[in-house]
Structure 1
Amino acid sequence: MHILGISGLHHAVQFKKHYFPSLTPREYRIAQGFDSAAALVTDNGIAAAIAEERLIRDKGTNLFPIHAIKYCLEMAGISPQQISSLAHGFAYEPAKALFESEALSQHQYAEVYDPARQRECLEEHFPSVDWTNKLVSVPHHLAHAASAFYPSGFDEALIVITDGMGELNSMTALVGDRSGLHIIQEIPAFHSLGILYGVFTLYLGFDFGMDEYKVMGLAPYGNARRYFNQIMEFVHLKPDGTYVIPLFAHNKSREDVETHRGVLKTLAAKFGVPRHPEADLTQQHMDIAAGLQAVLQACQLHLLQHLKRRSGQQYLCMAGGTALNCTVNGVIHRSRLFRNMFIQPAAGDDGTALGAALYVQCRLAPHRPSLKG
């Protein structure tokens, strides 16, 4: 069995540029499908995994990962014809009806999310292979979850996926055990901590979905107490461990949704003019970053405390872009909430290539995937 996993949405930025031609380069970065990658899983374990950016020198690229695919095949010494299944770390088909309400959303589904787009890319590069029955769409957060749980070494664990968004959700909590992955709680994309952090990243003059690590690195230079309460006003913690973020309701138009201009206007009214990317960093910027980081930590601990009580699990696995925030990860580790924890090193969307392949392997052979080697 040779299962190839891929990540990325090759047509996402192309769609945005076509239908929203007047946006800025930084606003075109606000899209799903970056960090394309490929991974190959066989009966003997993980044969290869690599991000497309490593081979084409384009950081965070959303291009179809053809070079990564060829690299994985070469490492395993197999031909494209020997691929048993191809797993893609997005599955928008179950949500297709939600895109039928207006014409632009219909175009978005047809041009970006329809699995036929992935099949077209495969047929373009590997025309001699019949991909009709080989392509499997794996729900985004299940791909993240598989990437974290199966390599963890834990027999059972709580799995928490937090990112910008998958198909419809921004947080999915699961329990992983020998029988598979079982969802226990979700938070919709409209209340995304990952997007909140990303919008503040934009406000501070950095790139959304790319430079959040810079904000994390800026935070230790600031005073978290100065803006913690003001930023926390944007997040309402609920007794069940979840949260809502009414701030996103300030995005009134479709263009606002694509750019977060409505939210950025609200931040400007509260904190002042957004920083220009070339402007100097001030103490205020550092204090905002510190406050934001503290809010993220508070929300994650609030969520995890509830999920631990609900699941009864002693071990934690994490993935999703928010799990790349190593400062928060350190806070969780030092809290001693869990006996041990495993965070997928490729916690971003590149890791869903591996996770999608592992998920399909588990479905085809109902036992824990072998990760030898």
Structure 2
Amino acid sequence: AQEERFSRVKHDAAFPTQAIGYCLQEAGVTLDDVDYISFFEKPLIKFERLLETYLASAPSGFSSFRIAMPLWIKDKLFQKDKLIRLLKPFSEQPKSIEGKLLFSEHHQSHAASAFYPSPFEEAVVLTVDGVGEWATASVSVGRGTSLEPRRELHWPHSLGLLYSAFTYYLGFKVNSGEYKVMGLAPYGEPEFAQLILDNLIDVKPDGSFWLDQSYFNYVTGLTMTNPRFEALFGQPRRLPEAPLTQFHMNVAASIQAVTEEVMMRICTDLARTYATPNLCLAGGVALNCVANGKLHRAGLFDNIWIQPAAGDAGGAVGAAYQAYHGHLDQPRRRVDGRRDSMKSALLGPAYSHPDIVQRLRAEGAVFKTLGEKDLIRTAAESLAQGKVVG
């Protein structure tokens, strides 16, 4: 389970001390029993991208450079040393940690998280997100324990960052509020979809694309969009607490429609290119369940399997799978085309009824205990009344 499930801090960026401790406890082992520790991306290659980007755009982007570089030099660049230091409390043999560390490329981790736990012996694997080291989307072919990269799209051309730019423009938090844009879309009409396709993104028949960077600020700036982007749509960026209007709903519907169109073109080309009935998906864009539903209904593939933790949280899962199958060449569990090896997405600790009651009482919460039948009836009645049930 993610660290946020233990710390109760949404998108907790702290080192996952509690999550690691839980996993070791659940498995009944210590870190000294673990053979390899795999990290989900390669920081040095990512740093190379940042340097090349700033160098190519200099002197533009100095404000962003001035903020990013101290963080990288102090913390992110020496990820290996940081991992060793933070993992030491879990080990009685801390000197052994360095020899256990492996690093997987970002999109390779996503691809591994999608293919290896899937129920398929063979599949084409599509990963789409904001950006990893250089890649923003990748296609791989999985067969048995082999996962072979075939092609990539590279920074700064990114479907995930395009969606995040609209998340920012609509007043939501980037890398957090994208689901709100997806949820807002059904209330609008995609009246700006063609405007987006004509100006912001050039989509080829095979789904590959190019973004016009003159409308964006994410490469070297401190924001996602710029005044030219706002001028294109005729309204300034919505402030986070400002009312949502029909205009905002239509903008959300438009970027959702464009995202679905790009994903459809990519997958249509994949179905035509690769002779397999199976598709696996991962990466942040694969969290867009509306686009996923459209792919499913299109019938391009007989079977689609999507990593439940499709975002970067699932990168940890993929890094472990990549180490086990890719690095160590260990066999997969028996696959039958029906049951995946993740068993379920209900990961993390389970709590008994008495534990829950005790915790609620300790917090001074107001609650009522219901039997299963009463619980189902109450939930159904609440939903029928338009209430939100959690």
Shared fold per TM-score greater than 0.5: yes
State the SS of the aligned residue for 2:192. helix
Q: Greater shift after overlay, 322-331 or 243-252?
A: 243-252
Q: Does residue 1:172 correspond to 2:135, yes or no?
A: no
1:310 Cα shift? Answer: 2.1
- RMSD of the TM alignment (CA)? 2.2
The answer to whether the 8 A contact 2:144-2:332 is kept is: no
The answer to whether the 8 A contact 2:206-2:268 is kept is: no
The answer to whether the 8 A contact 2:140-2:147 is kept is: yes
Q: Greater shift after overlay, 190-199 or 227-236?
A: 227-236
1:190 aligned to 140, 156, 159, which one?
156
* One-letter amino acid of the structure 2 residue matched with residue 360 of structure 1: A
Provide closer, same or farther for how the CA distance between residues 96 and 210 of structure 1 changes in structure 2, counting only shifts above 3 A: closer
State the SS of the aligned residue for 1:313. coil
Q: Does residue 1:264 correspond to 2:230, yes or no?
A: no
Query: How far apart in 2 are the matches of 1:125 and 1:266?
Result: 51
2:316 aligned to 353, 366, 369, which one?
353
Structure 1's unaligned 5+ residue stretches are 1-49
The answer to whether the 8 A contact 1:99-1:109 is kept is: no
1:120 corresponds to which residue?
85
Query: How far apart in 1 are the matches of 2:253 and 2:205?
Result: 25
The answer to whether the 8 A contact 2:114-2:318 is kept is: yes
1:87 aligned to 11, 15, 38, which one?
38
Q: Does residue 1:246 correspond to 2:197, yes or no?
A: no
1:367 Cα shift? Answer: 3.8
Q: Does residue 1:217 correspond to 2:180, yes or no?
A: no
The answer to whether the 8 A contact 1:361-1:369 is kept is: no
State the SS of the aligned residue for 2:98. coil
The answer to whether the 8 A contact 2:203-2:262 is kept is: yes
Query: How far apart in 2 are the matches of 1:121 and 1:352?
Result: 19
Provide closer, same or farther for how the CA distance between residues 264 and 179 of structure 1 changes in structure 2, counting only shifts above 3 A: same
1:275 corresponds to which residue?
238
TM-score scaled to structure 1, two decimals?
Answer: 0.80
Query: How far apart in 2 are the matches of 1:253 and 1:174?
Result: 27
Query: How far apart in 2 are the matches of 1:357 and 1:252?
Result: 31
1:65 corresponds to which residue?
16
Q: Does residue 1:229 correspond to 2:191, yes or no?
A: no
* One-letter amino acid of the structure 1 residue matched with residue 94 of structure 2: V
Provide closer, same or farther for how the CA distance between residues 237 and 364 of structure 1 changes in structure 2, counting only shifts above 3 A: closer
The answer to whether the 8 A contact 1:241-1:307 is kept is: no
1:313 Cα shift? Answer: 2.2
* One-letter amino acid of the structure 1 residue matched with residue 86 of structure 2: C
Structure with bigger gyration radius: 2
1:365 corresponds to which residue?
328
For residues 323-370 of structure 1, give each alpha carbon's deviation from its aligned partner in whole angstroms, at most 9, with x where no partner exists.
Answer: 000000000000100011000111111111111111101134314433
Count of aligned positions: 319
Query: How far apart in 2 are the matches of 1:203 and 1:96?
Result: 27
Query: How far apart in 1 are the matches of 2:296 and 2:342?
Result: 27
1:46 corresponds to which residue?
none
Query: How far apart in 1 are the matches of 2:270 and 2:238?
Result: 37
1:119 Cα shift? Answer: 2.5
State the SS of the aligned residue for 1:306. helix
State the SS of the aligned residue for 2:94. coil
1:169 Cα shift? Answer: 0.9
Provide closer, same or farther for how the CA distance between residues 66 and 160 of structure 1 changes in structure 2, counting only shifts above 3 A: same
2:353 corresponds to which residue?
none
Q: Does residue 1:311 correspond to 2:311, yes or no?
A: no
The answer to whether the 8 A contact 1:100-1:106 is kept is: no
Query: How far apart in 2 are the matches of 1:240 and 1:217?
Result: 27
Provide closer, same or farther for how the CA distance between residues 207 and 99 of structure 1 changes in structure 2, counting only shifts above 3 A: closer
More strand by share: 1
1:10 corresponds to which residue?
none
For residues 96-146 of structure 1, give each alpha carbon's deviation from its aligned partner in whole angstroms, at most 9, with x where no partner exists.
Answer: 555556686765554314333323322366474221111111111111111
Query: How far apart in 2 are the matches of 1:72 and 1:124?
Result: 15
